[in-house]
Structure 1
Amino acid sequence: MTERIGLIVGYEDTFPPAFIAKVNETPGFRAEYAKFGGTSERYKSPYAVLVDRLSHQVPYYRFHLKAAMLAGTYVINDPLWWSADDKFFGYSLAAKLGVTVPRTVMLPSQSYIPDIDPSRSLRNLEYPLDWDSIADYVKFPAILKPADGGGWKNVSRVNNMDELLRDYNASGQLVMTLQEFIDFDEYVRCVCIGKKFILPIKYDPRRRCYIEAENFLPKALEQKILDGCWALNNALGYDMNSVEFACKDGVPYAIDFTNPAPDMCVRSILPRYFHQVVDEMARFTIECAREGRKNPTVHAYQRYLENPIPRA
């Protein structure tokens, strides 16, 4: 019997065909662009594994993936967890794990939808904010960015209080975070697959590009980065992720690590790293299909279905 592996993508044009071709080299497994529509409440998934790289932009896909997971498909990444996480929670979790992160403060939205009456709906919100205390904790310069965002959208560097208030007042309904700026001497982006495969790549955030380099990290620093990636991906439950570190004086600061659909385009991550990522992604999905793996978050539902609690 052939195990089917489905891929959900958007405008990507290099990773999808390379991944599909690589999986299809292994007898007994067939990768393809997943197709679905009109999902029923008793949905039976034809896929052993679904690799999700687009449901953050297409809500129907996210809802469908939850149904597929309940039907027994292993979804990369887990749609229940992906729906629940945000970048600020990630910083809080990292701090609990002992992974160093910059000082970060989450800020309430600057404005709200018309149905929100500030005098009644926001009675629990401290107002005005204690901006002096916030700035004293984070320090300037700082980075103002969304608490749940990506792609470098709505990100700005603020060097003083005037710039902070100017950019915050322009942020609209976004929930923003103010984060300590790390004047790094090395920047690393790690592509992570299956929680075990960790590929550190030199990265230039100013030009937003990967740089091919060998042995660019001291061994001790590299080990801290690998340990941090391991801890974060296992705690977050991500099988496909990228984790960024800004390194200063031998300390890796985890900057961004909730990227469940990381850039895997050959033009971005360069041919040398692209082929490693494709090979590992194919190997991992085949392993998941072969083992009949199930997402951990669905176990609570399955346990109840198998052993329902009788009504007293």
Structure 2
Amino acid sequence: MTSSKVFTVGVIGYGLEREFGEDLIEGINWCEAVENPEGETVKLQAFPVPISEVYYRDRPPWDMVIDRSSYLYPFALGMFFHHLYQGVYFVNNPLTFEFWINHKFLTYSMINSLGIPVPETYLLPPHSQDGLSQDDIVHHKPFDWKRIEKDLKFPMVMKPNPGREANNVHFVHNMEELWRTYNGTGKEIMTLQQLVKTPDSWFVRCICVGRKIIPIKYKFGFNDMSSYIFEENFLEPEIGRKIIEYSKIINRALGLEMNSIEFMIDSSGTPWAIDFDNPVPDGRRSALGDIYYKDYQSALVQLVADVVRTGRKMEFMPSEVNKFNEIARSEAPVEEKFRKALELAELYYRD
């Protein structure tokens, strides 16, 4: 190796993410130097993202940002959009991060079109809307509740289209519960989804960072208070293969390098992707346990090193997302769309 450079990494994490962020900074700073494509020795240096005023002529003080909290702090998003435009590498790209997390219904539609099983889903207009009178909504049609019941069948899951941390998720078992729950959603735009029937008491949550995909057995908990169960090789090989392939396609189709994806496995062994746009996977050591926590941290450190080693740059608007969208919208048979999507995703996951 020749000469020496420094690659700076900003880490942002609030609340429950503070411990994760502090440990990640330490891990990056302890990482061995990396050789970039020019043969230069590059030292990785991480620090917390400072929040202050931003002048549009200033250059950002970092080469990369690992974003674990901007969804909690809108000012950070404005700052990050600007720094993305200036060439900073983000995990995740703030444009795709912010867009997908607020439009989950679109992800259900697109991912299903790529040949991945996704539960039947409806998007519901908000129960109420500020600034609109009854005269303004004269052309709104009554819901066809009978059609919804026929397509989804009870029980169903109602959850926000802009989903975060499993907040405001409801399980409804009959029409009376459905109406009562919907009437209580106020201005929130909700999705209504078929509940996949599973013989298991657990789901599968994949923590995905860079090229690392970690399937974990877990039990759902409201407000992202899920519990994780350490068990190696808990998936049958064929089911495990499908979950990894599905995860690769989902991550690349959404342009996410840090994500968690949830699957339910039905009685026939089919894994259903039930939630897959979670660009800040749960980082609580108390929930993950030491093994998964360390795996997660190591994968992020490796991702930083890979970006430096390959000299990879971040596009302002990810062109790869358009390629997956073109496949999803094509008239090809679903098996062919899945094959093409997997081939495209594998370009990222190859060593």
Q: What residue ranges of structure 1 are gaps of 5+ in the alignment?
A: 301-312
Kept in 2: contact 1:43–1:67 (CA 8 A): no
Q: Which residue of 2 aligns with 1:240?
A: 258
Kept in 2: contact 1:69–1:298 (CA 8 A): no
Calculate the TM-score normalised by the size of structure 1. Answer: 0.91
Matches within 5 A, 1:115-134: 115-120=131-136, 122-123=137-138, 125=140, 127-134=141-148
CA distance in 2, matches of 1:152, 1:36: 27
Kept in 2: contact 1:193–1:280 (CA 8 A): yes
CA distance in 2, matches of 1:61, 1:259: 18
SS across alignment from 1:92? helix
The letter for the 1-side match of 2:106 is F
CA distance in 2, matches of 1:6, 1:150: 23
CA distance in 1, matches of 2:229, 2:19: 19
Matches within 5 A, 1:217-232: 217-232=235-250
41-50 vs 200-209, which moves further: 200-209
Q: Which residue of 1 aligns with 2:274?
A: 255
CA distance in 1, matches of 2:111, 2:72: 26
Q: Which residue of 2 aligns with 1:96?
A: 113
Kept in 1: contact 2:226–2:287 (CA 8 A): no
Q: Output one character per residue of 1:185-232: Cα deviation in whole Å (capped at 9) or x when no partner.
A: 3410000011x2100000111572110111111000001100110000
Please give the root-mean-square deviation of Cα atoms over the aligned residues, in Å. 1.6
Kept in 1: contact 2:209–2:300 (CA 8 A): yes
SS across alignment from 2:69? coil
1:180 and 2:194 correspond: yes
CA distance in 2, matches of 1:134, 1:146: 17
Kept in 1: contact 2:127–2:186 (CA 8 A): yes
Kept in 2: contact 1:101–1:254 (CA 8 A): yes
SS across alignment from 2:316? helix
Q: Which residue of 2 aligns with 1:9?
A: 13
Q: Which residue of 2 aligns with 1:146?
A: 160
1:216 and 2:234 correspond: yes
Q: Which residue of 2 aligns with 1:273?
A: 292
Q: Output one character per residue of 1:22-52: Cα deviation in whole Å (capped at 9) or x when no partner.
A: 1111241111101142112223112111000
1:241 deviates by 0.4
CA distance in 2, matches of 1:214, 1:298: 38
The letter for the 2-side match of 1:158 is V
Q: Which residue of 1 aligns with 2:123?
A: 106
CA distance in 1, matches of 2:85, 2:143: 43
Kept in 2: contact 1:245–1:253 (CA 8 A): yes
Structure 1 residues 205, 299: closer, same or farther in 2, change over 3 A?
A: closer
1:298 deviates by 4.2
The letter for the 2-side match of 1:103 is E
CA distance in 2, matches of 1:55, 1:267: 23
31-40 vs 165-174, which moves further: 31-40
SS across alignment from 2:206? strand
The letter for the 2-side match of 1:252 is P
Residue identity over aligned pairs, in percent, reads: 33
CA distance in 2, matches of 1:102, 1:236: 18
1:262 deviates by 0.9
CA distance in 1, matches of 2:169, 2:311: 41
1:200 and 2:218 correspond: no
Q: Output one character per residue of 1:77-126: Cα deviation in whole Å (capped at 9) or x when no partner.
A: 1111122222111101111111101111111000111x112322x3553x
CA distance in 2, matches of 1:34, 1:199: 27
CA distance in 2, matches of 1:108, 1:256: 20
Structure 1 residues 91, 242: closer, same or farther in 2, change over 3 A?
A: same
SS across alignment from 1:44? coil
Q: What residue ranges of structure 2 are gaps of 5+ in the alignment?
A: 34-42, 320-351
